[in-house]
Chains A and B, each alone.
Chain A
C-alpha cells in the first residue's frame, strides 16, 4: 500500500476511535449525571445508582475506557505500519 493511502487509513481509523471514545466519555461525564435524581430510584450494589455513578461508576468506566483506547490505538498503529520501533 502506498504511503499516502496508509496514512489516510491510519488517520480515518484514529479519528473514528477518538469519536467513539468521546461518545462514551460524554455519556458517563454528562448524560448519566444529568439524570442522577431519576437514577437514585434504583439500587446498585447497595448504593442509590445516581450517587454511585458519580462517586465510583463513572470513574471506573474512565479507567477502563483509557486502557481500551490505548490498546485499540496501538492496534491501529501496527495494522497500518505506523507503530514505533521498540
Chain B
C-alpha cells in the first residue's frame, strides 16, 4: 500500500496477469470430450458460468465465501434475476430504515470516503436481507464491480469519472442479468476446502490451479476486502481462509502444497492445469509423478494449459 494525496491509502492493485480464459477452457473441454468439470479453486466463477452456458455441467469450490455466493448467482442459479425495482431496493439507502452507521467506519478516510462507507454499510444490510441465494449472488457480483471501480478511482483519481454510488451500483447489478442461464444440467458450488470439494464431487475433469509463487505471499487486497464486506467485519483477516497452498514463497512450500492437490485429484480422469511459460517446467515435472500422459495447449506465454490423464 502507498499513501496517496491527503491521508487516503491507495491500494497497490495487482496486475492479475495469470490468465484462465473461459473460451479457451471450453475449447479444451470440447477437444477432450469433457462434459462435467470441477474447479476446486474457482475464485470469481465467471469462467464456470461460460462453460455452463455452453452446456457443460460445472462444479466449483472456494474457501472465500463471497466467491461461492457469486457462484450461487451465476453457476447454480438458472433463472432468477434482479428486476429493476429490486435493484433499486439494494442500491439505495431505504428511507426510514435504520442502518448501523459505523459498520465500515474503520475504512473511512483510509480506503474510502465517508459517503462510500455509508453506502457499503447500506448495501451490506440490503443484500443480507435478500431471501434468494441466486439474487444474493448477483447483487454481490454487481456491487463487487462498483467496489473495484472505487478502488481504481482511488488509484487514478483524475482518469475516472465521479459516478454517484447508487447509480454505479445500479448499472453494475443490472449487468448481472446477462450471466443467468440454464444448461439443463446439475451445477453446484461448495464453500470449503478444495480437497474436500474434490473428494465429494464426481466429474470428468478437474481444473487444478497450481499455487502461485509470490515473494510476499499475499492475496489480492481487493479479494479479502470484499470478503470482509460480505462478512460485515472490516477488521476481518482473510489469510486463514485462503486456500492452503494457494500461494507459496519458496519452491519447497509450493511443491508440498501442489502434491497434496494432485494426490486427491487422481480420481478424475483428466486434470487441466493452467500455467505460464515461467512455471510450466516446474508444473510438468511434478505432474509426471502422478500422471503418465501430458499434453499441452499453449495460447500465449502467460496462458498455457497442461492436460494430464
Tell whether A and B belong to one assembly.
Answer: no
